[in-house]
Structure 1
Amino acid sequence: MELFYYLVFGFLGFVVASVELSKNNKDRINTSQTFNSFKNNYLLVYSLMMAGDWLQGPYVYFLYSQYGFGKGEIGQLFIAGFGSSMLFGTIVGSLADKQGRKRACVTYCITYILSCITKHSPQYKVLMLGRVLGGIATSLLFSAFESWLVAEHNKRGFDQQWLSLTFSKAIFLGNGLVAIVSGLFGNLLVDSMALGPVAPFDAAACFLAIGMAVILSSWTENYGDPSESKDLLTQFKGAAVAIASDEKIALLGAIQSLFEGSMYTFVFLWTPALSPNEEEIPHGFIFATFMLASMLGSSIASRLMAHTSPKVESYMQIVFVVSSASFLLPIVTNFLVAPSKVKGGSISFSGCIQLLGFCTFEACVGIFWPSIMKMRSQYIPEESRSTIMNFFRIPLNIFVCIVLYNVDAFPITIMFGMCSIFLFVAAILQRRLLAIADKSDKSKTEDWTAMQERDAEEEPLNAA
């Protein structure tokens, strides 16, 4: 492995440690012991859930190829996963709001464990069923847990600002540290212990089972709108009306779809971008480097959200612009650096530049997750939170399915250019969201001032 990879990883590790250790009291949020216990319980469960997810990721494609399936058949399996998430996501989100978020989280564990079990079969239909189950589980992972957390946080009367602390810690651990450890643990099982490519899925099922036991033993149930008179169709209509009637919710959904669509496209593109001539690159080590960059981003986000200024809506504009610029690097290097025609070998000079740009994007991803969670907690109504969040994932899944289906139809520079445009549009929409939020805050301040003045005028009259 070349020195360059170690330098990038070491530099990011040093910066993450420096940012965390340099935090002072102003960068930290003072909380209560009761909240800390609640937060730590959620972080334990979330980390176990993400371990179950991250362990599978690096080995899904490899497992299918070991079973003898070609690129086209594997592509169909992946499309089935995103397609089922799109088709069933809104339904399971509505059921979570109506039947209970804790119950939905347990359903996630059971569904994903069943998906892991299907990986033992080389039968295409069984694997397809596993992808469908995995798509349903993904919808629950990215809606039910957050919905439970927000509702429980508010139900227990904790300070609203403390919620951002839980979000940033969850991303720092679940999407950073746990991802790195899961990658190394999966590599240990498959390569060092020679247990085969299905071993990480068995390990994932074990972590999911442990997490489910913690949920069943320590979580209480909460609901969105448990009204018996509301069926699923009524809930769908209510969520659609909420999105259509509140521009802030609609903007938030568009921003999320644009960013996550670009992010999932990047997952498929970074490998061919860094090895266009089949250069030998350490995929696992690069993945760990990306996750370290994401940890840096979440650490920066926790620092930003500990202060009232700048607002989340404000600094996210910069994050989207930087993300957009990072995806221009593959296009720029393609024009400025003469491509090598030698097959194999080590990573090229343009590959090194792109790797730095991709690490920058991953740092933006680390800032994005806790920040978008914070904005969702502010703008999405509690009674249909899971339903609306899964509505947001419909355009995302459509976009990813289209990209997967046409991944060989366009040059890689066109794909990165498209993602860069999407991210720039997200920055424009974020600016609009900031303007609306500022106008709303100003209106509330004026109303509060008018009420105070009215009360002050009435006091002498009451005294008389």
Structure 2
Amino acid sequence: MVMFYHLVFGGLAAAVMAMELSNTSKDRVAISSAFNAFRNNYLVVYSLMMAGDWLQGPYAYYLYSQYGYDKRDIGRLFIVGFGSSMLFGTIVGSLADKQGRKRACVTYCITYILSCMTKHFPEYELLMVGRVLGGVSTSLLLSAFESWLVAEHNKRGFEAEWLSVTFSKAIFLGNGLIAIFSRLLAKFLVVNMEFDPVVPFDAAACFLAIGMAIILSSWSENYGDPSESKDLITQFKGAAAAIASDGKIALLGAIQSLIEVSRFIFVSLWTLALSPDDEDIPHGFISVTFMMSLMLGSTIASRLMTRANLKVESYMQRVFAISAFTMLLPIVSNFLGAPSVEDGSLSFGGCIQLLGFCVFEACVGIFWPYIMKMRSQYIPEEARSTIMNFFRIPLNIFVCVVFYNADAFGITGMFGMSCIFLFMASVLQKRLRVISDSQKLKPQAWTDLMEGGDEAKTSNI
């Protein structure tokens, strides 16, 4: 079965390399040297930021357990992190529109470095503070950088279609290649070099500090709505009104929430699905295979989004439907034979699940550039970060509920729930396509809403 793992991994690696190196004329986008420099600068910073984030994942649970905390104590720490992202992160992330996106990106670096520093102390209260800072940082990472990119891209007068190139490359690097590199580096530091499990957090802080230096030296500031007449509450009300009044924004937020919750279920349960009795499987190798699948998906997305005859609203409906089918496999495979493991070998049902999970991760790789492009088109610039953080509230609520009631959810029920969510996303995507085809964007709608006029235009879902 080791040969099966290597066959899957090798096939994915070959597919990624082939697609990256064999662009046809339809896949090429003519870009300027100025945009190339701008894009590369952003990708370097984004990769450093993602390295700082990915380095902390592999040994967080292990570090807490080394400090003597049990599963329940560690669960509370993770709940605090997601709760902080939902509450404090939403507020701090929303301030980026008013106080400046560059400043918010620098704040991300500072708060995450402080979060890493708290890992040196075994006191539970300090670890809680670190999780709060980490939650705030996560919200900034997933909103401030994209908001800065979109605003700066438009301010410099670059072509709108070039954004798709940056988005797909950012996912390929930050969520794929850098994720693999970070996991290997963390393992090298702890296993090969035999350093303490806190060392990967120190390495993460170093990457974040380097990225912050580049931001301070080369990025200009941009804002959403810097008006001093609008306080944070007014900004929240305006963002909520925009979501409620514009069917496209509301549908986009619902789709994002459904996909993110489904991926959280997958990330949390794929190990249990492939080794239900805690059998020995090559976790690291399989995890890297999933990241390669995501890279393949982002490469496919870059091909699809550069073709003028293809609308992303159309093909994403099929992508969501395929991903829904893959989440059925853990349930169906039980009838083909439990994915038992013996000497590292998966059963036939386990092999089917593994292939399905790779397809799911490829679909996620297609999804992220898509959602970034749609947000750049539909979300009003004045409250981009605010609305993007609103979209993440359902995910954080769901995660907190699941962590708090971890024993109450069965694996079959969780994957079934994920399948339903993905099917719902496909249905909502169809509705989004219908609305997109039937009406044009109304940039004035946001201005009307912020002015509070009764004449604010709305579009029904």
One-letter identity of the residue aligned with 1:387: T
C-alpha contact 1:165 1:302 (8 A) present in aligned 2: yes
Q: 1:339 to 1:323 in 2, by over 3 A?
A: closer
Say yes or no: does 1:169 pair with 2:169: yes
**What residue in structure 2 maps to residue 357 of structure 1?**
356
Q: Deviations over 1:366-394 (max 9, x none)?
A: 10111000000000000000000001111
Whole-angstrom CA distance in 2 between matches of 1:321 and 1:174 = 26
**How many pairs align?**
443
C-alpha contact 1:325 1:420 (8 A) present in aligned 2: yes
Q: Describe the SS at the equivalent of 2:68.
A: coil
Say yes or no: does 1:217 pair with 2:226: no
Q: 1:345 to 1:42 in 2, by over 3 A?
A: closer
Matched-pair identity in %: 74
Q: CA deviation at 1:98?
A: 0.3
Q: 1:343 to 1:80 in 2, by over 3 A?
A: farther
Q: Deviations over 1:24-47 (max 9, x none)?
A: 122011100000000000000000
**What residue in structure 2 maps to residue 134 of structure 1?**
134
5+ long unaligned stretches in structure 1: 445-464
Whole-angstrom CA distance in 2 between matches of 1:265 and 1:443 = 36
Q: CA deviation at 1:69?
A: 1.3
Whole-angstrom CA distance in 2 between matches of 1:443 and 1:233 = 24
What does residue range 297-446 of structure 1 map to in structure 2 within 5 Å? 297-338=297-338, 340=340, 346-441=345-440
One-letter identity of the residue aligned with 1:177: L
Q: CA deviation at 1:282?
A: 1.7
Q: Describe the SS at the equivalent of 1:225.
A: coil
Q: CA deviation at 1:442?
A: 11
Between 1:202-211 and 1:314-323, the stretch displaced more is 314-323
C-alpha contact 1:180 1:291 (8 A) present in aligned 2: yes
Q: Deviations over 1:14-33 (max 9, x none)?
A: 11111112211220111000
Say yes or no: does 1:81 pair with 2:85: no
Whole-angstrom CA distance in 2 between matches of 1:193 and 1:346 = 30
Whole-angstrom CA distance in 2 between matches of 1:320 and 1:182 = 29
TM-score where L is the length of structure 2: 0.94
**What residue in structure 2 maps to residue 108 of structure 1?**
108
Q: CA deviation at 1:348?
A: 3.2
Q: Describe the SS at the equivalent of 2:366.
A: helix
**What residue in structure 2 maps to residue 193 of structure 1?**
193
**What residue in structure 2 maps to residue 38 of structure 1?**
38
One-letter identity of the residue aligned with 1:175: N
C-alpha contact 2:338 2:347 (8 A) present in aligned 1: no
Whole-angstrom CA distance in 2 between matches of 1:335 and 1:144 = 46
**What residue in structure 2 maps to residue 151 of structure 1?**
151
Say yes or no: does 1:272 pair with 2:308: no
Whole-angstrom CA distance in 2 between matches of 1:322 and 1:406 = 29
Q: Deviations over 1:291-349 (max 9, x none)?
A: 10000000000000101222111111111111111110000011231565x88854333
Whole-angstrom CA distance in 2 between matches of 1:290 and 1:247 = 34
C-alpha contact 1:265 1:403 (8 A) present in aligned 2: no
Say yes or no: does 1:123 pair with 2:106: no
C-alpha contact 2:175 2:291 (8 A) present in aligned 1: yes
Q: Deviations over 1:46-81 (max 9, x none)?
A: 000000011111111111112121111111111111
Whole-angstrom CA distance in 2 between matches of 1:436 and 1:349 = 43
One-letter identity of the residue aligned with 1:48: L
Q: Describe the SS at the equivalent of 1:31.
A: coil
What does residue range 51-62 of structure 1 map to in structure 2 within 5 Å? 51-62=51-62
Q: Deviations over 1:225-276 (max 9, x none)?
A: 0000110000000100100110100000000000001111211111111111
Q: CA deviation at 1:10?
A: 0.6
Q: Deviations over 1:426-463 (max 9, x none)?
A: 0000000000000015999xxxxxxxxxxxxxxxxxxx
Q: Describe the SS at the equivalent of 1:57.
A: coil
Whole-angstrom CA distance in 2 between matches of 1:251 and 1:434 = 10
Q: 1:136 to 1:335 in 2, by over 3 A?
A: same
Q: 1:57 to 1:159 in 2, by over 3 A?
A: same
Say yes or no: does 1:250 pair with 2:250: yes
Between 1:347-356 and 1:250-259, the stretch displaced more is 347-356
Say yes or no: does 1:287 pair with 2:287: yes
C-alpha contact 1:280 1:346 (8 A) present in aligned 2: no
One-letter identity of the residue aligned with 1:432: R
